[in-house]
């Protein structure tokens, strides 16, 4: 039995899909030894699954609470997330985030803040949901050269393309189905326009190659103009169209990063990754090809990545950025 004094005390900022997912996971895993002590949300009138007295409405109050061991930030607003996370790091706090846009746009600053003030930021949940890709690159492949890293980083666009392939339908009906099932947002631009996987690619290239990029430096072409005719053309050649993120070191040492619709054949492990699932292929210099597949979104899958970061923080883990030299 774990006593209350020995439990990891969590301040949770945001109680949407991921926040509720993490809370539910911790309720089912008392042996993990963590408790959500405070929850900060923005809207005091919104109906939620917990009593109203469980919520705070000023996230800044959690940033300076000495009774909290770690902060978990899982809100949608990237600008507000950066304000909260950067403030927490200046205070030397430990924090976990799932906000890929925030991390991608501010990673150089976030790395500098950790080095300057001694805080720790982990963000496994920001890329590919339940797939442990960031720590794999940062730790396991921290020293080994990588020829390429690529894959399907967005479950929404992959779902749409899967349904277009299965039904022979155009983009519009497949998108409408994805929205009705909750796999795509009402405004699908970030996912279908490949802005979301672009952010994830920017995060991964920092750990795979030590390169800190601005998302605007990365080419992203979405799937909005893919038609049923395009799908049939691919199928005629035994291929599928997938929205693939590609990170690659060229022979001259330069690194290229882009996200585009690509033709994928049966020889690729990405060929069989369908619907809301994500997949990542790592081509290492000595370990050769590695493939990871899992759910790329959802409360429990993404919450499991947050849980993993909480466990890592408990054991003093922080990203090493082994390949970043400047």
Please report, for the chain, the start and end positions of each structural domain, with discontinuous segments joined by +. 4-129+300-314, 134-294
- Structure token pair of residue 214: 């601005």
* Cβ pair 121, 147 in contact under 8 A: no
**Would the annotation count 265 as a binding residue?**
no
pLDDT tens digits, 210-219: 999 999 999 9
Query: DSSP class of residue 235?
Result: H
Domain at 4-129+300-314: CATH code: 3.40.50.720
* 106, 157, 180, 305, 318 from 176: Cα distances, Å: 33, 12, 6, 29, 41
- CA pair distance 13, 306, nearest whole angstrom: 13
Which residue, chain included where needed, has tokens 């492949």? 141
Strands 146-152 and 277-284: antiparallel
Q: Hey, CA dihedral for 215, 135, 305, 288, is it positive or negative?
A: positive
- CA pair distance 133, 125, nearest whole angstrom: 10
- CA pair distance 249, 253, nearest whole angstrom: 6
- The reported pLDDT for the residue numbered 45 is 87
Q: Give the residue from 155, 296, 271, 162 showing the smallest Cα distance to 226.
A: 162
The predicted model scores a pTM of 0.96
Which residue, chain included where needed, has tokens 């706090």? 93
Q: Which of 200, 240, 242, 323 is catalytic?
A: 200
Which residue, chain included where needed, has tokens 């990871």? 292
Q: Give the residue from 181, 127, 162, 153 showing the smallest Cα distance to 272.
A: 162
**Would the annotation count 17 as a binding residue?**
yes
DSSP conformation letters of 278-322: EEEEEEETTTEEEEEEEE-SSHHHHHHHHHHHHHHHHTT-----T
- CA pair distance 13, 71, nearest whole angstrom: 7
**Would the annotation count 16 as a binding residue?**
yes
* Cβ pair 310, 8 in contact under 8 A: yes
**Would the annotation count 177 as a binding residue?**
no
Q: Which residues of the chain have pLDDT under 50?
A: 1-3, 326
- The reported pLDDT for the residue numbered 3 is 41
Residues in the chain: 326
Strands 255-264 and 240-249: antiparallel
- Structure token pair of residue 134: 């960031």
Query: Catalytic site residue 200?
Result: yes
Q: Which CATH class is domain 134-294?
A: alpha beta
Give Cα 85 to chain centroid, integer Å.
16
**Would the annotation count 14 as a binding residue?**
yes
Contacts of 92 (CB under 8 A, 6+ apart): 117, 118, 119
**Would the annotation count 155 as a binding residue?**
no
* 5, 34, 264 from 67: Cα distances, Å: 11, 13, 51
Which residue, chain included where needed, has tokens 């895993």? 29
Locate the DSSP E strands across the chain: 8-13, 34-40, 55-56, 70-73, 94-97, 120-122, 146-152, 219-220, 240-249, 255-264, 277-284, 288-295
pLDDT tens digits, 174-223: 999 999 988 888 899 999 999 999 999 999 999 999 999 999 999 999 99
3-state secondary structure of 211: coil
- The reported pLDDT for the residue numbered 6 is 76
User: Which H or E run contains 122?
Assistant: strand 120-122
* Cβ pair 144, 210 in contact under 8 A: no
Which residue, chain included where needed, has tokens 């590695």? 290
């Amino acid at each position: 039995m774990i006593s209350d004094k020995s439990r990891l005390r969590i301040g949770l900022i945001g109680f949407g899909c991921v926040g509720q997912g993490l809370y539910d996971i911790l309720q089912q895993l008392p042996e993990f030894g963590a408790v959500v002590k405070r929850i900060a949300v923005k809207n005091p009138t919104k109906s939620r699954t917990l009593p109203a007295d469980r919520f705070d409405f000023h996230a800044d109050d959690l940033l300076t609470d000495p009774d909290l061991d770690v902060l978990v930030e899982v809100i949608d607003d990237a600008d507000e997330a950066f304000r909260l996370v950067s403030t927490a790091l200046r205070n030397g706090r430990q924090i976990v985030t799932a906000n890929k846009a925030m991390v991608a746009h501010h990673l150089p600053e976030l790395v500098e803040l950790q080095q300057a003030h001694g805080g720790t930021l982990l963000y496994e949940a920001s890329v590919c949901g339940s797939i442990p890709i960031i720590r794999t690159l940062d730790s396991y492949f921290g020293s080994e050269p990588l020829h390429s890293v690529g894959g399907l980083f967005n479950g929404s666009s992959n779902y749409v393309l899967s349904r277009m392939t299965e039904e022979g339908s155009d983009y519009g009906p497949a998108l409408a189905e994805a929205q009705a099932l909750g796999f795509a947002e009402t405004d699908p631009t970030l996912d279908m326009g490949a802005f979301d996987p672009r952010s994830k690619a920017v995060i991964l290239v920092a750990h795979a190659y030590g390169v800190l990029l601005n998302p605007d430096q990365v080419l992203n072409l979405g799937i909005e103009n893919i038609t049923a005719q395009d799908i049939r053309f691919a199928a005629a050649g035994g291929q599928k169209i997938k929205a693939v993120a590609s990170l690659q070191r060229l022979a001259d040492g330069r690194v290229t990063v882009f996200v585009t619709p690509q033709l994928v054949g049966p020889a690729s492990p990405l060929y069989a990754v369908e619907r809301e699932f994500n997949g990542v292929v790592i081509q290492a210099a000595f370990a050769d090809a590695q493939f990871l597949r899992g759910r790329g979104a959802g409360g429990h899958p993404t919450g499991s990545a947050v849980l993993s970061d909480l466990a890592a923080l408990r054991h003093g883990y922080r990203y090493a950025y082994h390949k970043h030299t400047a």
